[in-house]
């Protein structure tokens, strides 16, 4: 028996932050451009114009991500277990999806990722470093899908017995992530992430 996966908030938060940052950057930079145009200051025009261009690129990429999600739709991911996994346990993943619009998918990829996040102080700055250790990958070739066309599949991952369980302290964190990814032709990839909870318990077999 499987359970519908609960999507990690970081998946959609990254996209929202990118759009907000693009809008803020473009709006703030346009002030310099307008001041330069009004006063005939070429330095302001050049710097402001360059910054506005950068903001438009960021904003455009964010909008293209929205287009990807509009064309693809929302795949349904089912997990045998999401929040009570044990070290050494098997995780069965299945997916079922009907495409919203016609789209060319170059590759479907599902990854089991061990994500390490470390925060440290460097002078007066606080820095955060993220490292992804890809434990296992399932891949299959893509196709030119029509609107309404369906895909489905599944794969069995295993939490390695040598791996660390989910862990969080003040400046260090270990997360387990299931990532579902579609490489879409001529558009940003469709990526959804599902956070798993691996308990500090061990199983000796994959049952």
Pairing, β 90-98 against β 167-168 = unpaired
- For 15-47, the pLDDT digits (tens) are 667 667 777 878 877 887 787 788 777 777 788
Domain for residue 6, yes or no?
Answer: no
Q: Does residue 136 fall inside a structural domain? A: yes
Does residue 11 carry a pLDDT above 70? no
Phi and psi based region of residue 155 (left: phi greater than 0; alpha: psi -120 to 50; beta: remaining): beta
Percent of the chain with pLDDT over 90: 51
pLDDT band, residue 140 (cuts 50/70/90) = very high
CATH for 107: 2.60.40.640
Does residue 1 form part of some domain? no
Answer whether 135's CB lies under 8 Å from 144's CB: no
**Do 84 and 131 sit in the same domain of this protein?**
yes
Same domain, 169 and 85: yes
Higher per-residue confidence, 81 vs 15: 81
Beta bridge partners of 180: 110, 192
Same domain (yes/no): 47, 132 = no
**Nearest residue to 187 (alpha-carbon basis) of 76, 98, 66, 97:** 66
82 and 108 housed in the same domain: yes
What are the strands, taking DSSP E only, across 62-168?
A: 76-79, 85-87, 90-98, 103-122, 125-145, 150-158, 167-168
Residue ending a domain, choose from 71, 93, 112: 71
Instruction: Examine the domain organization and report whether 174 and 86 are in the same domain.
Output: yes
* Boundary (domain end) residue, out of 52, 71, 90: 71
Q: Structural domain of residue 17, as residue ranges?
A: 12-71
Residue 96's alpha-carbon distances to 53, 57, 155, 170, in angstroms, are 40, 34, 12, 38
Do β-strands 198-202 and 85-87 pair in parallel, antiparallel, or remain unpaired?
A: parallel
Give yes or no: residues 150 and 198 share one domain: yes
Across 28-43, b (16+ Cβ under 10 Å) vs e yields: ebeebbeebeeeeeee
pLDDT of residue 86: 95
Q: Which of 25, 56, 71 is the last residue of a domain?
A: 71
Residues 98 and 193 in one domain: yes
Residue 87: predicted pLDDT:
95
Number of domains comprising the chain: 2
* pLDDT tens digits, one per residue of 87-110: 999 999 999 999 999 999 999 999
Cβ(163)–Cβ(114) below 8 Å: yes
């Amino acid at each position: 028996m499987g359970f519908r996966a609960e999507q990690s908030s970081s998946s959609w938060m990254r996209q929202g932050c990118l759009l907000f940052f693009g809008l803020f950057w473009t709006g703030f930079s346009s002030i310099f451009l307008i001041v330069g145009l009004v006063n005939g200051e070429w330095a302001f025009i050049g710097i402001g114009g360059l910054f506005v261009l950068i903001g438009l690129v960021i904003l455009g990429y964010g909008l293209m991500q929205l287009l990807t999600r509009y064309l693809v739709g929302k795949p349904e991911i089912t997990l045998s277990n999401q929040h009570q996994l044990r070290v050494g346990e098997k995780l069965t993943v299945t997916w079922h999806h009907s495409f919203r619009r016609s789209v060319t998918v170059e590759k479907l990829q599902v990854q089991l990722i061990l994500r390490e996040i470390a925060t440290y102080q460097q002078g007066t700055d606080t820095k955060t470093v993220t490292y992804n250790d890809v434990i296992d990958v399932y891949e299959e070739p893509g196709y030119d899908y029509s609107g309404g066309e369906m895909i489905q599949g599944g794969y069995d991952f295993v939490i390695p017995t040598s791996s660390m369980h989910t862990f969080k302290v003040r400046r260090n964190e270990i997360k387990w992530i299931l990532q579902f990814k579609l490489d879409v032709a001529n558009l940003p990839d469709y990526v959804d992430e599902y956070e798993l909870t691996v308990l500090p318990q061990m199983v000796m077999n994959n049952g």
